[in-house]
Amino acid sequence: MRYVILGAGVAGFAAIESIRQADTAGEISIVSDDPNGFYSRPGLAYYLSGEIDGKALYPRSREDYRALNFAFINARARKILRDGKKLELEGKPALEYDRLLIATGARAIPLNIPGADLSDVVKLDHLADANTILALAKRGRTAIVTGGGITALELTEGLLARGMAVHYLLRGERYWSNVLDARESQIVEARLQADGVVLHYHAEVTEVVGRHKRVIGARLKDGTIIKCDLFAYAVGIAPRMELAQDCGLACERGILADERLQTNDEHIFAAGDVAQVYDPLTGHSTLDSLWNLAREQGRVAGLNMAGRRTAYLKSAPFNVTRLAGLTTTIIGTVGRGRDEDVLGIARGDSETWRELPEAIVAQGGFDVNHVRLLLGENHIIGAVLMGDQKLSLPLQKMVTHKTDISSIRDMLLQPNAPIADVLADFWVGQT
């Protein structure tokens, strides 16, 4: 059996690992246009801020790779020829496949305003982008960041850590308004301001102003010009699904995949940020941009490619991340509506977070230890936890397994309820 994996991200590598569990003899090739191979994309934020070095981005050793016995091909894939079951590459011979996995991830949506092509306009997508930013970030100079979600904040904090003065521009009236509630946005914004970030609300950039191809500022819709030396953006991501569309695979917002991660071509599978995966429990096909879900999808795709019929049982999408230095867990469905700063989905985000059925909100705690729960009739359907993370894992389990919390529901909904204590006691009783 010849397996071709297109995309050397976490989904592609998880697929190789599970194929090898089921088939020790098959030929596996993995193709990527990123010369840096497989590294932690979420780790780029910590690399940018200087908390980890480049080596720490690599989750696997050479020995791990040797044991998996595959060929790595650094090339860009140009075309999928479904009739001949071939993948055409730029500048390298085509690869024939019996099973193909498309795990091409997503790319940052480009900034579409005059001046976006200037050399000091940056995004944070790949390791190469992080290295470009590090070369351009100069202590004592000024940066502007625009956009929403986790990546815009990571850019802000990374540039701050590199000694730059940072202006953060928000198109709306608060940070990440379709996932966080007003209080949570305010907690993040206050922490940014305390770190010296200048926040601008209702600030839409119409042009990045340059001189001699270098950035000198940004013009806002109201005509104001803010001077800067570097301009960074994170306005959302788009699945890299052109090859799938060109060869006639069914696509909507991503490549449509069933619960076995198979596309509408029985020889082709899709996983990770590029895939819009059917969830039999909800009947919805959703896009996620989450490391752990991409890995699980890749694992299940690999098993199915190697002939082991396995269903992908989607767990409640969750992310444990850091927002303005505050560890934050986001689980299940927590928000609604549209955020003006992000077009569609962002990195570290899930469409499921915004599929809000009828729910009542319970919240408590202080600014640094905050918890918000979305309560259905007798289970928790979503949670945001900021600061103290003791409840992160229990809440992930309670949301995923739809644990019956009817015995504590009324207590959670009392005004000023000690939510964290009630939940902790309940969890201890469960285990």
Ligand X SMILES: Cc1cc2nc3c(=O)[nH]c(=O)nc-3n(C[C@H](O)[C@H](O)[C@H](O)COP(=O)(O)OP(=O)(O)OC[C@H]3O[C@@H](n4cnc5c(N)ncnc54)[C@H](O)[C@@H]3O)c2cc1C
* Residue 27 sits in the site that holds ligand X (CB under 6 A): no
Exactly one of 125, 157, 184, 339 binds ligand X (CB under 6 A); that residue is 125
For residues 310 and 242, give the distance between their C-alpha atoms in angstroms, rounded to a whole number. 27
Which residue lies nearer to ligand X by CB, 154 or 157?
154
For residues 365 and 350, give the distance between their C-alpha atoms in angstroms, rounded to a whole number. 25
Applying the rule CB under 6 A, the residues between 90 and 119 that interact with ligand X are: 103-105
Exactly one of 290, 316, 330, 412 binds ligand X (CB under 6 A); that residue is 290
Applying the rule CB under 6 A, the residues between 305 and 364 that interact with ligand X are: 319, 321, 347-348
* Residue 9 sits in the site that holds ligand X (CB under 6 A): yes
Q: In what order do the strands lie in the sheet with 370-375?
A: 318-323, 326-332, 380-386, 370-375, 360-365
Length of the chain: 431
Nearest to 227 by CA among 299, 166, 173: 166
Site of tokens 């305390």:
194
- Residue 139, classed as helix, strand or coil, is coil
* Residue 31 sits in the site that holds ligand X (CB under 6 A): yes
Which residue lies nearer to ligand X by CB, 346 or 359?
346
Exactly one of 5, 11, 164, 256 binds ligand X (CB under 6 A); that residue is 11
Provide the β-strand partners of residue 275.
255
Which residue lies nearer to ligand X by CB, 123 or 167?
123
| C-alpha angle 127-70-239 in degrees, rounded to nearest 5 | 45
- Residue 420, classed as helix, strand or coil, is helix
* Residue 147 sits in the site that holds ligand X (CB under 6 A): no
Exactly one of 23, 184, 273, 341 binds ligand X (CB under 6 A); that residue is 273
Applying the rule CB under 6 A, the residues between 378 and 417 that interact with ligand X are: none
Applying the rule CB under 6 A, the residues between 210 and 249 that interact with ligand X are: 240, 243
Sign of CA dihedral 391, 397, 400, 401: negative
Question: Half-sphere exposure of residue 225, counting CA atoms within 13 Å on the CB side?
Answer: 10
Contact (Cβ atoms closer than 8 angstroms) between residue 333 and residue 357: yes
Contact (Cβ atoms closer than 8 angstroms) between residue 100 and residue 87: yes
Which residue lies nearer to ligand X by CB, 23 or 125?
125
Judged by CB under 6 A, the stretch of 9-17, 157-165, 302-310, 360-368 that binds ligand X is 9-17
Question: Minimum CB separation from ligand X for residue 53, in Å?
Answer: 17
Q: Which residues bind ligand X (CB under 6 A)?
A: 7-12, 31-34, 41-42, 44-45, 76-77, 103-105, 124-125, 150-151, 154, 240, 243, 272-273, 289-292, 294, 319, 321, 347-348
